[in-house]
Structure 1
Amino acid sequence: MSDSVWIEAPGGEIVSSPLVAVATVSDWMALLKPRVMTLVVFTGLVGLLVAPGGMHPVLGLAAILCIAVGAGAAGAINMWYDRDIDAVMRRTARRPVPDGRIAPADALGFGIALAVASVLVMGLATNVAAGAALAASILFYVFVYTMWLKRRTPQNIVIGGAAGAFPPLIGWVAVTGHLALTPLVLFAIIFFWTPPHFWSLALYAHGDYARAGVPMLPVVAGLRATRRQIMLYTLVLVPLTLLPWALGEAGRIYGFAACGLGLGFLVSAWRVLRDAVDAAGRSLTKDAPARAAFRYSILYLFALFAAFAVDRLVG
């Protein structure tokens, strides 16, 4: 592959352009999608902390580092593959590959090297099952979500959301070597949290996705339908978060936190649903409720998993 990048020509056509910029350390870090990685690492850490049996701190640190590096590897490969559509989307055009600061071939090689290293170290430092789970999460994100679903179906983020739900499962398996009900419930919580989280973003970024030809739900089904889907998934998510409490897997600390946080999520989803719109379904408030819901959803998952960890560790 030549050292070139994809850019948008004045006429709207996507063309190849020679790579001229010099990458910095921050550019290579940006390939790893550090903001996304933060949430991935935290949910993986919770899975590790609440697993029975415990783990030596050094091995635990190695496991979390492998989850972080594996997530970053998947992000780097995603940026390599999506460089053409990233170039025409305002919020992604300044990423290091479409902006010409890192060659596509270098981004791909970097991502593959990190993926292989993270899986091998995870398997050696903890157990083969954890290494296999980490490999499965990377492969799912790259091949199922990025290469297969993202450009083909508006359900891309629903099915592809499974990739982001792996970390607590991986953290648990790193300690125990096997699956159990608790990590599967945590997996399900993240799986059902992903659509309302991401569709809130898609509501105010739908112009970008339409320009790039990505069939996100607001582009294909419309803005009104997306608001309804956010509400419906939230109505499924909130009762699901109470399942650990109902099953005795968590105590009152988590139960009260899940109720309070869930109420906040329902309110934010309701505000998105009832947002003032014009005849075409476009927000008259510049998608303020959707932006607020997106920000709250991040805080929500952090707080929910933190409450689960505190509850289990204190209990």
Structure 2
Amino acid sequence: MAVIENSDSIGPGGDFRLSEASAKDFLALLKPRVMSLVVFTALTGLILAPGTINPVLGAIAILCIAVGAGASGALNMWYDADIDAVMTRTACRPIPAGRIRPQEALAFGVTLSAFSVVILGLVVNWMAAAFLAFTIFFYAVVYTMWLKRSTPQNIVIGGASGAFPPMIGWACVTGDVSWNSLILFLIIFLWTPAHFWALALFKMGDYGAVGVPMMPNVAGERSTKRQMFVYAVLTGLAAVAPALTGLSSWAYGLVAGVLSLVFIGYSIAVLKMPEGDKRMAAAKRMFAYSILYLFVVFAALLADHYLMVV
């Protein structure tokens, strides 16, 4: 908090000199780990979509989606700098740590947002560009500025922004959406609450300190654990759905089914975790597995697609 308050860049008439931030600091604003998952799921949607796209245009499309995702992250960090300074998980981010001034992050995010949307529209198609623009708006405004601090359903509704990339990739090829692209969306959308609430369980103190109404802080541990189990089951059903619609083979369906049973098993372990458990070991294991789970599910979709083509 102090580093932000001491910055002479805040408020009208402030000092607008540039900070001495490094390229690494601006890269951190883009949330590269989150961006990598966005890029991978968007690439999956682009490859699984019916039809073809010129490889160069496809590469530009993925680059634009990556830049748009990074822009969303920068805008999120700009707006959340006050609470990031308090939370142990985020206190070292570039803005609360004083390495980047807030207005620099805002300008960076807005510039990248406009660049990614315009280039995607001009080079690929405007349907995909509009979808990307909506995704950036949904994450930066609807989730970050409104839902995150106002409702315990923040991550449920706001999680849609992280689930749109495969639909954008799909739209880059087809110029529209379909039931199969919606299934890709649902896998991520239904996965997000179980994934993020696992984190929220062992970071309850941080969220409580900044007044963010995460589900464990508002509804309690027991209710959150039950909901995580329900979402894990729903995620598993969505993950095997491509085998039912013809988007993938039954070989993929079997792999997704096994992965999902393990995911559900982790949610059961969390459900059995004693109230007030300080170690939160089961929640930490589920959080770690959930990241691997989503990556492997989408990797299996890609592998299955190429095997079907061959």
- State the Cα deviation string for residues 97-122 of structure 1 (Å, max 9, x = none): 01110000000000000000000111
* Residue ranges of structure 2 left out of the alignment (5+ in a row): 10-18
Name the residue aligned to 2:12: none
Instruction: Quote the Cα distance in structure 2 between the aligned partners of 1:295 and 1:54.
Output: 35
SS in 1 for 2:6: strand
SS in 2 for 1:18: coil
Contact 2:43 2:169 in 1 (8 A): yes
Instruction: Quote the Cα distance in structure 2 between the aligned partners of 1:162 and 1:104.
Output: 26
- State the Cα deviation string for residues 84-142 of structure 1 (Å, max 9, x = none): 01011011011000111000000000000000000011111110101001001000001
Name the residue aligned to 1:309: 302
Per mean C-alpha deviation after superposition, the further-off stretch among 80-89 and 243-252 is 243-252
SS in 2 for 1:242: helix
Letter aligned with residue 208 of structure 2: A
Instruction: Quote the Cα distance in structure 2 between the aligned partners of 1:105 and 1:66.
Output: 23
Name the residue aligned to 1:257: 255
Q: 1:289 aligns with which of 282, 305, 308?
A: 282
Name the residue aligned to 2:7: 18
TM-score, normalising length from structure 1?
0.92
TM-score, normalising length from structure 2?
0.94
Instruction: Quote the Cα distance in structure 1 between the aligned partners of 2:92 and 2:109.
Output: 19
Name the residue aligned to 2:164: 166
* Equivalent runs, 1:164-313 vs 2, <5 Å: 164-275=162-273, 277=274, 281-284=275-278, 286-313=279-306
Q: C-alpha displacement at 1:256, in angstroms?
A: 1.2
> Share of identical aligned residues, percent?
54
Letter aligned with residue 310 of structure 1: A
Q: CA RMSD in A?
A: 1.4
Q: C-alpha displacement at 1:264, in angstroms?
A: 0.8
Contact 2:87 2:210 in 1 (8 A): yes
Name the residue aligned to 1:151: 149
Q: C-alpha displacement at 1:313, in angstroms?
A: 2.4
Q: C-alpha displacement at 1:59, in angstroms?
A: 0.8
Residues matched between the structures, number: 299
Letter aligned with residue 76 of structure 2: N
* Equivalent runs, 1:36-185 vs 2, <5 Å: 36-185=34-183
- Following TM superposition, the consecutive aligned residue runs of length 4 or more in structure 1 with deviations greater than 3 angstroms are none
Instruction: Quote the Cα distance in structure 1 between the aligned partners of 2:78 and 2:30.
Output: 11
Letter aligned with residue 283 of structure 2: A
